[in-house]
Structure 1
Amino acid sequence: MRILVATDFSVRSHRALRRAGLLAGPRRGKLMPMHVVEGLGTRQVAQDLREAQRMILEQVAVVPELFRAWCEPIVIGGDPAGAVLDAANAWEVDLIVVGASSDSPERTSGETLKTLVRASPCPVLVVRQPVEGPYRRVLAPVDLSDTSTRALRRVGSLGLADDALVTVLHAFRAPATTKLWAAGISQEHLDGYVESCRTGFAEELDGVLAREGLGRRDWRRRVEEGWPRDVIPRIAMECRADLVAVGTHGRTGLARALRGSVAEDLLSTPGPDVLVVPPPRRTPGRPTWLRSGSSRSPDGQPAPGIAVT
């Protein structure tokens, strides 16, 4: 497994490195801490690159979770989001890990985080909480489409649920509730109608899990009536989830929610870590500076991958 960790040497990126180390270490995965020095081609950038190379080695050396991991730090110049995405494509990484502030992620992570979440070719794990060990409680909202269940598969394949209690959540809207209420149907009948919808969606959820080969897992199921952007944070709090895993580009109902708005809503407010799983994308060609035979980064410096053992 290849894990790319974006670091700016802050406290939040230190958390991201710790989390990535927990994931990579036991599986002997390759971990690539990456720092991007903004700008290209100037003497100051060249000096900053050399200083960043020293700092990233120091940061790797003091993170205990990395002691068993194969680390290859990367320092380049350029645009942070673009450079991380290029590297993720070039090395075909399985996961990007990035840190964000737990109390004000939007202010501290800004457009770089949004760009990564929207354009990443692979899942992005946004670490927002202190790292105290493997994840213990994972919430996985799905809209019952093949696209959204990809998040369930990735939770398992990335090892995020190895030691966790997983709750699979489907949020639904009973389609005729408003019309029935306007027609004067009693609350008792309305409640019965909503429960019949809940039962139908619960059966569909069981069918989806069975088709994905996940039916025998000891995962909890919850089917809740309401808009996803309201239901997901509420259930995450009730479950005391330390990770919420969402897919992007779902179908009608949860579609707009999981196409970015709910993921971004989750990231813009305090809460647990968030795993965003995109649909499969065609991998673009390797950037010029990463193609076979190229040994220099965009600013003309030697490509700075450094193996640390």
Structure 2
Amino acid sequence: MMAIVCGTDFTPNAEAACDAAAAIAARTGRTLELVHVADGGDRDAAARRLDAEAERLRRRGATVEGRLLEGAPDETLVEHVNAAGAWLIVVGALGRRSRSRWAIGSTADRVAQTAAVPVLVVRSPAAFEAWAQDGKPLRVLVGADFSGSAQAAIRWTRALAEAGPCEVRIVHVYWPPEEHARLGIRGAVSMVDVHPEVEKVLARELATRFHDDAAGLGEIHVELSLGRVADSLVWRADRDADDLVVVGTHQRSGLDRLWHGSVSAGVLQGASASVACVPAAAAAGTQARSLPVVRSVLAATDFSELADEAVLHAWAVVADGGTVHLLHVIEPAELGATPNPLYAHFVRGRAPTPEERRALHREVADRLRQLVPAAAAARGITTECHVVEEASVAEAIARMAERLGVALVCLGSHGRSGLGRAFLGSVAEDVVRRGERPVLIVRRPEPVDPGD
């Protein structure tokens, strides 16, 4: 079982971190390695203080080993842990370093941004002591996006919850204009209330993304943000009096950190609660990779021979009991759509009436249902038909894929190249470029030369 490493410089803040580390070590049954990094000074005096602190923590029920190192505190601590391994590094919210190096940032921030294992920055040990000794639930807020570091944060939180009672909320913060555009939601964008469709889609996507790791751990909350994600998480943690905020960290540095920002650094600087920063590397190799199961497919057709043949692949790849979503996109006549017998109600220069539009939608839906193979019912596959009006077919397909949360998009392609491709364009290519879902492209078979 990997140890918990706690760095100490013998300050009151470090003592608080040691108390929290000892409580967690005792509760989880892990060894606590107490590390002091001497940055000059009397080494013998430092060793005596380290022994005394280790003995104090042993009286709290933890198995403690002391280790004295030399160098810059944050760099040496991280190098030691990265080489030897650990389940967790625990540090105080403030740490000492030579005055010339303070401009870089706090010791806690530097450790969190460079360590290959989770780092817990302790504000107060009280909640951890009550959790370890009295079984009082630890109130935990986990900030989650769709990254690997968020998955690592959720997995680490689950391990903590398995050691002792935790009340966990998994919170995803989003920017309304961005999500409304991605999902193709029309109308005014509220900057106050969460849109029901956005909440539904994001909650489903988060549950799918973290299904094995988040199941039964805590509720998933989708909340909008008007500013930095870090500020939103800090505000919610303060509002709900959380004991611990857990965030993943991409460990950006330099210009990359300045350009993209750092949620973990923002939470570290602003939160009044203790903060755990979990790097994506912490989740590497913790679970065996499993084969994906395709349970839902979006298949789009323009009713051409190729497209109608291509959509059959949707039923071929979807799992038994899955769902195939059939989609046809109507390009409105007022935008100059090419005449098509299907669009009998659309006449150039005249917008269709509401009754004509409804009739057309029913007609198209009937044609979609005629494409469903008989074998679908035998395999328990559900087929749902969708008809939308949109100027850009590719944009409509990409947005519908996001709103439905499908695992795969299936499209036919004429396989044009050169001038033909440049002149006519490619809906399939545009969907690949715009969308975030895997796309299966079915090409027209090459004609067989009778002479071969």
Task: Tell me which interval the TM-score lies in, with the shorter structure as reference length.
Answer: 0.7 to 0.9
Amino acid at match of 2:215: G
Contact 2:179-2:198 within 8 A present in 1 as well: no
Residue number in structure 1 paired with 2:148: 146
Which whole-Å CA distance do the structure 2 matches of 1:139 and 1:193 have between them? 19
How far apart, CA to CA, are the structure 2 residues paired with 1:192 and 1:20?
40
For 2:14 and 2:52, how far apart are their aligned partners in 1? 14
C-alpha distance in 1 between matches for 2:194 and 2:20: 44
- Write the distance in 2 (CA, Å) between the matches of 1:207 and 1:54: 52
Partner of 1:123: 118
Which of the numbers 149, 159, 176 marks the counterpart of 1:174? 176
Native 8 Å contact 1:198 1:225 kept in 2? no
Comparing 121-130 with 151-160, greater Cα deviation is found at 151-160
Q: Does the 8 A contact of 1:156 with 1:162 survive in 2?
A: no
Match of 1:112 in 2: 107
8 Å Cα contact 2:54/2:65 also seen in 1: no
The DSSP-based 3-state class of the residue aligned with 1:68 is coil
Distance in 2 (CA, whole Å) between partners of 1:125 and 1:74 is 19
Instruction: Report the CA distance between 1:87 and its aligned residue.
Output: 1.2
The answer to whether the 8 A contact 2:180-2:198 is kept is no
CA distance in 1, matches of 2:4, 2:53: 17
Which residue number corresponds to residue 215 of structure 1? 215
1:307 corresponds in structure 2 to none
SS class of match (2:277): strand
Measure the CA separation in 1 of the matches of 2:8 and 2:118: 17
Q: 1:236 aligns to what?
A: 237
Q: What is the aligned partner in structure 2 of residue 15 from structure 1?
A: 16
How far is the alpha carbon of 1:70 from its aligned partner? 1.8
Query: Are 1:228 and 1:262, in contact at CA under 8 Å, matched by a contact in 2?
Result: yes
Q: What is the rounded CA distance, in whole Å, between the counterparts of 1:164 and 1:203 in structure 2? A: 23
Q: Calculate percent identity across the aligned residue pairs.
A: 27
CA contact (8 A) 2:244 2:273 kept: yes
Larger radius of gyration: 2
The letter for the 2-side match of 1:222 is: H
The structural deviation recorded for 1:110 is 4.1
Q: TM-score, normalised by structure 2?
A: 0.51
Once the two structures are TM-superposed, the CA of residue 35 in structure 1 deviates from its matched residue by 0.7
SS in 2 for 1:143: coil
How far residue 198 of structure 1 moved from its aligned partner, in angstroms, is 1.7
Task: Report deviation, 1:114.
Answer: 2.3
What is the 5 A alignment of 1:16-31? 16-31=17-32
Equivalence for 1:301: none
* Counterpart for residue 263 of structure 2: 262
Query: Residue 46 of structure 2 aligns to a residue in which SS?
Result: helix
Q: State the 1:160 CA deviation.
A: 7.8
- State the partner residue of 1:294: none
8 Å CA contact 2:177–2:189 kept in 1: the answer is no
Distance 2:125 2:112 in 1: 21
Whole-Å Cα distance in 2 between the matches of residues 242 and 116 of structure 1? Answer: 21
The amino acid across from 2:145 in the alignment is D
Q: Give, in angstroms, the shift of residue 63 of structure 1.
A: 3.4
For the Cα contact (< 8 Å) 1:23–1:159, is it kept in 2? no
Counterpart Cα distance in 2 of 1:198 and 1:210: 17
CA contact (8 A) 2:153 2:248 kept: yes
The residue aligned with 1:288 is none
> Quick one: which of 41, 63, 69 aligns to 1:76?
69
Which runs of 5 or more residues in structure 2 are unaligned?
95-101, 132-136, 285-452
In the TM superposition, residue 8 of structure 1 has moved relative to its aligned partner by: 0.6
Matched, 1:53 2:52: no
Deviation at 1:277, TM superposition (A): 0.4
2:281 aligned counterpart, secondary structure = coil
Q: Which has the higher contact order (CA 8 A, sep 6+)?
A: 1
Q: 1:144 Cα shift?
A: 2.4
Displacement after TM superposition at 1:115 (Å): 1.8
Q: 2:211, 2:271 → 1: CA distance?
A: 34
Aligned residue for 2:207? Answer: 206
Contact 2:194 2:223 in 1 (8 A): no
TM-score normalised to structure 1 length: 0.73
- The aligned amino acid for 1:57 is D
Residue identity in the other structure for 2:81? A
1:272-294 deviation line (CA, Å, top 9, x unaligned): 0000001218x9xxxxxxxxxxx
Deviation at 1:235?
1.4
Distance 1:199-1:95 versus aligned 2 partners, 3 A rule: same
**Is the contact made by 1:138 and 1:161 (CA closer than 8 Å) also made in structure 2?**
no
Secondary structure in 1 matching 2:126: coil
Residue of structure 2 in register with 1:90 after alignment: 83
